[in-house]
Chains A and B, each alone.
Chain A
């Protein structure tokens, strides 16, 4: 075994399947998308080269910027929701009764398929016999809104299940990070008379700052390219009121058969995600890495 691992050829051989898959399924398609973005192509006939025309169109496309705004809103909401997850994790990690059980409950949405979640929430939001409106009517609101049909509400109505969907994931990450903090640090803080609040914000949170930074990137980038629930629940409607960048791109490609333009959007989306990731890393950079 040692002999095998010391040979460069063998290492290369064993790495190559993964590398090939990664190249074939991720990097080559990315470059292809970039290439298609310079073409006018309906997916069937011959492509024709149009240079940066698709990108020029993109800059002027108000509907796209609406969807970009919705994606940005989702990113902000997801990032803010991290605060809530962090609070929950702090409580869970603070040795309360049934923490283990609660942690599993929070994780369940993670285990459901997106389409199942979408179906579930569509039932909840159903305008006449959904559980939400039935409850609202029971407490005396005679005409509760049709959540997914109101342009002003549809987007936010979908944000809730999206945030709910990922709660378990982030709580799991925070919980694991908090559990990694040595008990001795907390003990000595207690002896020094620190309150639970102080321990949480001045000791625990700074110690897991690196993890928090990663979750911010995950939440923001994940939101920017978010697609599934929106596609199933409203398909971007009514009339674009809940459209996000990824669903807009899908519509351009598979409903309008404008694969060139859709590829340009896809490539642009990749660039935005890379830039934002870099930006977040830059902004949240700390002078020193706190070690324990």
Chain B
């Protein structure tokens, strides 16, 4: 018996050791001396899945530590989903890292309401604001205070297959009327005009957002969402009607409401469908990604969502928005250093992310000074000329309203809801918040 008890306790002990070992494994880098200040930084670019991101981050941290003797940056790296979970757990125990990664608008809201993130307006006022593309930091602002500094920026052009366009004798449309003609010509020729996977629903929302912008101008959707105006706006209803026109004209590949974005995208990637509206995170697939045949990459171009006649919107207004950004914890003991670090990080990131990782930063890139594929240069130039940037609707809305919006988008595309009801139900959901 004695022997058994001994084995049991030995097993228990080793289990405890293993658990202890797990929790401290790979977590920290860098050591802290007595007089040194430690900035804890949590990010989501592990070496495995985001090698370039990870390298840039490590380089920036090393450079920062070199420039700031006495300050050490301790990093903890987690993969995306784990990161989101851990942030939630840490925030409920009030134990957030000094600096971390966050998403914009709707995601940010509960953290700001819980007073967990520090306002960063003082950092921006130092001249940093001018380095950001207009409209990017605003996505991180709640009640006129900015709580995050964006690292990435994406806009959504319409990519098109030049070979298909040429084969069917259609040109890049400049007005929405021309666009509709292109759709009709391609459809008549048996080519699915537009690749769409609307099971994910935000994909369909992109088309709706552009139509709302072109009919009602850049403010109409945003104002409806932030309750300055009603969602039951004629332009928002008109945009919904146009979506159903496109659906009835078979503009989208068959069964799009049951296909994921990846499945919808494959219609475009295998040269089946002629157009695809998606964020600029797709650019590597049309430029540098060696897994995609060269011939296909060369045949892809992009154009701006065309203008409608008498519409209030202009062609240089984009749907898009910043991806992840950095926050500073409100309860951080080294808040000043953390803010310094965030500022440094954002600046350095802006210099390197597009050339090293193909990620378009939220800060302005000097296209003359970098060596990039032509499509990147074109997109960056368009960004420089952008008159407006409307943040993805589901990111602008709170999580609850966003779900309602996305479900309504799917119904709209499925002809299950009339345009009038579509705007009415949006208005009800927004008013109930």
Contact = CB atoms under 8 A, between A and B. Distances in A.
Contacts of A188: none
Given A237-B199, A255-B399, A149 B255 contact: yes
A161 interface: no
Interface stretch (B23-31, B365-373, B409-417): B409-417
Given A146-B258, A238-B410, A128 B253 contact: yes
B110 A42 contact: yes
Contacts of A146: 254-255, 257-258
Contacts of B414: 149, 151, 238-239
Interface residues of A, number: 29
Contact of A237 (B88, B91, B257, B263): B257
Contacts of B256: 149
A237 B410 contact: yes
Interface of A: 4, 42-46, 122, 125-128, 146-151, 154, 234-235, 237-240, 251, 255-258
A176 to B, nearest CB: 36
Interface residues of B, number: 28
Contacts of A4: 1
B113 interface: yes
Given A237-B410, A239-B410, A256-B403, A45 B255 contact: no
Contacts of B91: 44
B399 A238 contact: no
Contacts of B289: none
B199 A235 contact: yes
B400 A258 contact: yes
Identify which of B88, B113, B402, B407 gathers the most chain A CB atoms within 10 Å of its CB.
B407
B156 interface: no
B426 interface: no
B114 interface: yes
The 8 A-B residue pairs with the shortest CB-CB distance, nearest first, are A146-B255, A127-B255, A148-B258, A149-B258, A149-B257, A239-B411, A44-B110, A45-B114
Given A234-B199, A239-B407, A239-B411, A127 B110 contact: no
24 contacts: A43-B88, A125-B258, A126-B255, A146-B254, A146-B258, A147-B258, A148-B199, A148-B255, A149-B259, A149-B414, A234-B258, A237-B257, A237-B407, A237-B410, A238-B199, A238-B257, A238-B410, A238-B414, A238-B416, A239-B407, A239-B414, A255-B403, A256-B400, A258-B400
B92 interface: yes
Given A44-B88, A45-B114, A255-B402, 15 more contacts: A43-B110, A44-B91, A44-B111, A44-B114, A122-B263, A149-B414, A151-B416, A235-B199, A237-B199, A237-B410, A238-B416, A239-B410, A251-B403, A257-B399, A257-B400
Nearest to A43: B88
Nearest to B404: A256
B339 interface: no
Interface in B101-136: 110-111, 113-114
B113 A45 contact: yes
